With several copies, the nearest count.
Chain A
Amino acid sequence: AVRLADFEGPLDLLLFFIRRDELDIHDIPIAQIADEYLAYVRVLDEVDLDGAGEFVYMAALLISIKAQMLLPRPAAEDGEEAFDPRKELVDRLLEYMRFKEAAGELAFQEGQRAALYARQSPVERKRYAGSDDFITYDYSVFQLVSALKRVLDRAADEEPESHVVQAESYSVEDQRTFVLDRVRAGGRHSFVALVKERPKPFIIATFLALLEMIRERVITVHIGDEGLSDFFVEATG
């Protein structure tokens, strides 16, 4: 099964918001971010991705900070810094950013070194044999989740309240076949178009199938001008 953490984690989602809205990390509007974070967690929960629990934990933390922010704070004494309930989280985010930056440097180093070919020993070949841990991508997985969220919201709006939900289910495996049939024909396919006017279970299973196939490098993602509202997939060349 696909684990979201294989792509990105709860801290990345926070950084995603901060980056998207160009927020000052030292003055995060917690109330707004907490609500939005929760909305994303609901989506992750609905999709039932492995590891969503870690996001739930972070959402709970944000809500607790939000609550603390609402409490009257004692005025700062001279020479003392006012207590900011966000401080611990911000410190953690900053520390995480340091390592993300370092990881970027290492990845660069890895690329430089990878251009130099030495004789490869059998041991070396064994080390990396049959591994699927090499997917690299230059977008945030939360861009994909954003698109999913919009599609799901729209699907919910279109569904009449009284509508009796059919006990129709879609397996991730079926949706793999569904996606493969389309991308094999060639060209880039819009996620929105793939799941247009389909029921929620169909949308979710398709999304999971896509994540799986991205991880296995069966398909490649392109983020177009639509930015956060849609993305495109094509068969990996």
Chain B
Amino acid sequence: MFPELHQVLEALLFAADRPLTADEIAEVMHTATGDDPPTTEAIDAGIDALNQVYEETGRVFRVNRWAGGYQVATEPIVAPYLKALFADRGTRRLSRSLIETLSVAAYRQPVAKPEIDFVRGVDSGYALKRLLEMELLAVVGRSETVGKPLLYGTTTHFLERFGLNNLEELPKLKEIEELLQDPELRQRKELLDLQAVLGSEPADPADSTESTSDELAEAP
């Protein structure tokens, strides 16, 4: 079974990250099939057919003719949503609850959620989820303890984001441990200490992995 012309056009325009000219499309089709490629007119008619189907079936994108080629773009009606999607790209700082959770995970890794919850005294479910999505943490296995909870650890991206070469460069906790014998106090101090360091993370405009707003991360 072979796809029809308009299906091939759809696929190419969807996956391409730039406008494609009719010539380029013809060449790709020739390479893929070895057959004679469709004419420019046939391609152009195929584009018209696609746009008509898109309109009739309520799709929110159209094939546009610009820059000497064809490119798919969304309709103005959904622009506010895309603006919201892309607004968060870039240099946002992590929220306090995310930083706290990340600190505990960084120092205690591999660590399970119950332990993080215990140290922070609050449920860290949402924060963990967001940190996983941002690829700052990753699931690294399962604990052998009751319920076999998942174990979390930091990622390469974590190191990159905080400008660390490796985990050894995390601020040392030794001095604090010497000073404070009380385990609970030590835990609190540990948090503050890491926050001080991680809170000063460098801004990285190239970063696009985290694209959600921090306000929600702050939600209880």
Question: Are A and B direct contacts in the complex by CB distance below 8 Å?
Answer: yes
Tally chain A residues at the interface, Cβ within 8 Å: 65
Decide: A98 and B18 in contact? CB cutoff 8 A: no
Q: Looking at the complex, which of B26-34, B39-47, B137-145, B196-204 is the stretch in contact with chain A?
A: B196-204
Closest to B80 in A: A115
- Which residues B74-128 have CB closer than 8 A to chain A? 74-76, 78-79, 82, 86, 89-100, 102-104, 106-107, 118-123, 126
Confirm or deny: A178 has a beta carbon within 8 angstroms of a beta carbon on chain B. no
Please pick, from B72, B99, B106, B216, the residue contacting A118 in the complex, using a CB distance under 8 A.
B72
Given contacts A95-B119, A99-B103, A114-B93, contact A138 B130 (CB under 8 A): no
Point out the residues of chain B lying under 8 angstroms from A113, CB to CB. Answer: 66, 161-163
B187 interface contact, C-beta 8 A? no
Q: Which of these binds chain B: A20-28, A155-163, A197-205?
A: A20-28
Q: Is A168 an interface residue (CB 8 A)?
A: no
Neighbouring B residues of A8 by C-beta, 8 Å: 96-97
Closest to B116 in A: A99
Among residues 112 to 155 in chain A, which have CB atoms less than 8 Å away from a CB atom of chain B? 112-125, 127-128, 131, 133-140
Determine if B212 and A98 form an interchain contact, defined as CB atoms under 8 angstroms apart.
no
Q: B207: which A residues are within 8 A, CB to CB?
A: 104, 138
Residue of A nearest to B79 (CB): A115
Q: Which residues does chain B contribute within 8 Å of A125, judged by CB atoms?
A: 89
B32 to chain A, nearest CB (A): 13
- List the one stretch of B1-9, B49-57, B170-178 in contact with chain A: B170-178
Say whether A121 contacts B215, CB under 8 Å: no
- Check B219 against A23 for contact (C-beta < 8 Å): yes
- In whole angstroms, what is the CA distance A234 to B91 when docked? 21
Q: Which chain A residue shows the least CB distance to B121?
A: A11
Query: Which chain A residue has the least Cβ–Cβ distance from B91?
Result: A114
Range of interface residues on B (Cβ < 8 Å):
35 or more
Does A85 interact with chain B (Cβ within 8 Å)?
Answer: no
A231 CB → nearest B CB, Å: 11
Interface string of A2-37 (1 = CB under 8 A from B): 010111111110010011001111000000000000
In the assembled complex, the Cα of A113 lies from the Cα of B179 at a distance in Å of 25
- Count of inter-chain pairs, beta carbons less than 8 A: 213
CA separation between A108 and B209, bound complex, in Å?
12
Which residues of chain A have C-beta atoms less than 8 A from B66's C-beta? 113
Q: Interface readout for A181-209 with B: 1 if CB under 8 Å, 0 if not? A: 00000000000000000000000000000
Instruction: Report how far A100 CA is from B171 CA in the complex, Å.
Output: 13
A223 to B104, CA, bound (A): 29
Among B118, B135, B215, B218, the most chain A Cβ lie within 10 Å of the Cβ of: B215
* B176 pairs with A117, CB closer than 8 A: no
Residue B68 lies at the interface, judged by CB distance under 8 Å to chain A? no
Q: A22-B219, A106-B103 are in contact. List 18 more A-B contacts (CB 8 A).
A: A7-B97, A9-B120, A12-B121, A22-B215, A23-B216, A23-B219, A101-B210, A102-B171, A104-B209, A104-B210, A106-B162, A108-B206, A112-B76, A118-B74, A120-B89, A121-B17, A128-B134, A140-B208
Offer 17 A-B interface pairs, CB within 8 angstroms, sorted by A. Answer: A3-B126, A9-B121, A10-B121, A23-B219, A100-B100, A106-B170, A106-B171, A107-B93, A109-B164, A110-B161, A116-B163, A121-B208, A124-B17, A124-B18, A127-B134, A128-B134, A139-B201
Which A residues form the contact surface with B (CB < 8 A)? 3, 5-12, 15, 18-19, 22-25, 51, 54, 58, 92, 94-125, 127-128, 131, 133-140, 223, 225
